[in-house]
Amino acid sequence: MPCGRWVKESFQVAVLYVGAIIGAGFASGQEILQFFMVFGYRGLWGAALVTFLFALLGFSLMLSVGAHRTTSYGELLP
């Protein structure tokens, strides 16, 4: 696969993941800001930690999907 295509497809997956987590499942940007900013600078560290954990979860999920060659979430979840 050429490098340009790989980058484009990776970006599409990343945007889909962020849209699903932030837009549909987690909260709006305003709610996130209000929740974490109550704690000042410690809230920024909390927001960074949550961002890292969501990225780690998404990465491990993608590895699991690739390893099991699943085509739907129903095949991955017991």
Buried/exposed 13-40: b ≥16 CB within 10 Å, e otherwise: eeeebeeebeeeeeeeeeebeeebeeee
Give the tens place of pLDDT for each residue, 26-39.
Answer: 556 677 777 788 88
Model confidence at 9, pLDDT cuts 50, 70, 90, reads: confident
